[in-house]
Amino acid sequence: MNIPNSFVEDGMAGDLRPCDPARYRDVMGAFATGVTVMTLGTADGFRLGVTASSFNTVSLDPPLILWSLALRAPSLAEFRRHDHFAVNVLAADQKDIALQFARPSEDKFAGIPTEEGTLGLPLIVGALAHIECRTVARYPGGDHEIMLAEVVSLRRSDRAPLVFQSGAFHELAHA
């Protein structure tokens, strides 16, 4: 069988070509994701959060999720040090929160209302879902570290999700 490698008629931008960094970013950016903020916190007031779209489900039994963090991210050392963290799945009206946690700053939580979860972690008020997790394995993933985590407790609301695609935030349009 002949597999065509040119899809111009389908609106595809030309032939299949070898992977280079610019093409990789461009093509992978086509994959739409939700947006999360991964938060850490301890009883002595320490807290930290990172915007991440690499979140995904892995296993139902046991309940496992994964996400990956850049090796150059200053927060990586803290995610290696602490096993418990919370996934805050952002709602459509929380784009500013996504941007705030994607920039290095002295206090990433400034102006952001939070409540404390069952593990003492900061949970972002108004999120679409909160998922408290415990990291069970860390794997090398090129220039990122992959964290596999067990889900401890979770809840959701019926808010609309924030969506990220091709470097921009979107709201879900129902078909």
- Residues near ligand FMN (CB under 6 A): 35, 50-54, 68-70, 73-75, 98, 102-104, 144, 164
Q: Which is nearer to ligand FMN, 101 or 132 (CB)?
A: 101
Pairwise CA distance, residues 174 & 31, whole Å: 17
Q: Which is nearer to ligand FMN, 86 or 98 (CB)?
A: 98
Q: Which is nearer to ligand FMN, 35 or 151 (CB)?
A: 35
Report the nearest approach of ligand FMN to the CB of residue 163 (Å). 10
Report the nearest approach of ligand FMN to the CB of residue 140 (Å). 14
Report the nearest approach of ligand FMN to the CB of residue 23 (Å). 19
Instruction: For the chain, give the number of residues.
Output: 175
The one-letter amino acid code at 73 reads A
Q: Which is nearer to ligand FMN, 138 or 144 (CB)?
A: 144
Q: 87 near 38, Cβ under 8 Å?
A: yes
CA distances in angstroms from 108 to 11, 89, 157, 175, listed in the order given: 41, 17, 24, 36
Report the nearest approach of ligand FMN to the CB of residue 1 (Å). 37
Cis status, amide bond into 62, omega within 30 of 0: yes
* DSSP-assigned letter for residue 91: B
